[in-house]
């Protein structure tokens, strides 16, 4: 075989490899938390859903979720606020717990703690393109109606010691080395 033919074959093989690499789909995990279906169900009660979406090319396994939202506490109109979980598509041992309205700070906070009871190896498998209703929340004030209509319930996005959004991935589930993991947070404003 001549050097020209050999060089052409090597060049062609390298070109094929580079071409297949450049068109391959990257493996990344694109996860989204979204509050939706926001509605007033009475003059002193509002509810909304918290949903998790896996827009990735791969499945993911999640163990637990914890949440904190900042909100306009003046909407409670001087009443006592209560937060309740009224529905979830999660198994009971994976549902978030201890919903709390915290009004000592400004802004006020709505807090829901993670339930870590399932343990590693028992996380919820969410397939590529799948979603799950983590919970439907109900916020009520003890007085007959909310004040105004500016609820502004916003995911708390910081890494300080105060509560924020936390997602616990099942450590028994291994992702490939080059996966990018991040969460997009969608918020409620009215």
Residue 43 lies in a domain: yes
Residue range(s) defining the domain that contains residue 128: 28-186
Residue 144 lies in a domain: yes
Helix %, strand %, coil % of the chain (to 5): 15, 45, 40
pTM across the whole model: 0.74
DSSP 94: G
What was the pLDDT predicted at 186? 46
Residue 9 lies in a domain: no
Domain CATH code at residue 134: 2.60.40
Q: What's the full length of the chain, in residues?
A: 190
CA–CA separation, 76 and 58 (whole Å): 42
Phi-psi region of 21 (alpha: psi -120 to 50; beta: other; left: phi over 0): alpha
Residue 39 lies in a domain: yes
Residue-wise pLDDT tens for the chain (190 aa)? 555 444 444 444 444 444 443 343 444 557 788 888 888 999 999 999 999 888 878 788 888 888 888 888 999 999 999 999 999 999 888 899 999 999 987 888 899 998 877 777 778 888 989 999 999 999 999 999 999 877 777 777 655 566 677 777 776 544 432 233 334 444 444 4
What was the pLDDT predicted at 22? 37
**Overall domain count for the chain:** 1
CA–CA separation, 44 and 146 (whole Å): 5
Residue 166 lies in a domain: yes
What was the pLDDT predicted at 139? 95
CA–CA separation, 52 and 34 (whole Å): 7
């Amino acid at each position: 075989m001549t050097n020209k033919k050999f060089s052409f074959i090597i060049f062609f093989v390298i070109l094929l490899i580079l071409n297949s690499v450049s068109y391959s789909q990257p493996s990344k995990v694109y996860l989204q938390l979204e509050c939706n279906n926001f509605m007033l169900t009475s003059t002193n009660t509002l509810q909304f859903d918290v949903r998790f979406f896996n827009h990735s090319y791969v499945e993911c396994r999640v163990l637990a979720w914890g949440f904190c939202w900042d909100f306009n506490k003046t909407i409670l109109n001087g009443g006592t606020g209560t937060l309740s979980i009224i529905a979830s598509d999660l198994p009971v041992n994976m549902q978030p717990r201890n919903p709390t309205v915290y009004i000592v700070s400004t802004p006020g906070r709505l807090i829901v703690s993670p339930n870590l009871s399932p343990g590693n190896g028992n996380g919820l498998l969410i397939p590529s393109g799948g979603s799950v209703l983590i919970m439907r929340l109900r916020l009520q004030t003890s007085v007959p109606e909310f004040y105004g209509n500016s609820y502004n319930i916003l995911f708390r996005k910081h890494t300080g010691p105060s509560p924020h959004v936390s997602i616990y991935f099942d450590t028994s589930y291994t992702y490939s080395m080059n996966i990018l993991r991040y969460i997009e947070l969608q918020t409620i404003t009215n």
